[in-house]
Structure 1
């Protein structure tokens, strides 16, 4: 027996909401993933020394001082001289708890890193985080 419609009755179109919910979740996940990749990194790429106690840091409200392989100094991404570094560090004294991250290439002579630490200590900044990278698992015991 075939189903027949009555002549005057019209079937109203149904709006299926489940596919719309799927699309909204997909868009939400996509926007979240894109926004995570837009985090601004202020440090310059250098070859960090390895340390097994390395932990990730929060990039908000911080200053990164970088000593590049050839000894150049950078304040976040701006190249500065030692004198400019001293001036910018003295401006940080007005902050309650300045967050300073020292980023030095592993091939930089230790004396240059100590010079930067000395500039920070002269202005009363003693809390400095030295950035390192986690050692890879393929490395053998340290030399």
Structure 2
């Protein structure tokens, strides 16, 4: 008579990890909460200045920029007064000497060729340096 092997009917044991992970997370949460309550909270007392103690810097007003207009015929004008290219640089230099914080803007007609705009802008930069820029509407 032969005995049947118990191995054939036996199932492999399973390890159920979910309850073990639940317990581990509860223990971890407990230790985190305890460590947070046991640490001493340190702070520094700071007295912030009130509005009367603060220094208010004086307002620096920037002068109005000098607007150089370039129309569709390539004519240069400042404040609606036509100028020749030779008269432009002395006007810019005089403005920048009178207004050290001032800036000069070139407002060109959109229909004008870009080459003409670049020529006038480079001429203006010779007089005003980095305070000359092209304004776009």
The structure where helix makes up a greater share of residues is: 2
TM score, norm. by length of structure 2: 0.47
Q: Which has the larger radius of gyration?
A: 2
TM score, norm. by length of structure 1: 0.46
* RCO higher in structure (CA 8 A, sep ≥6): 1
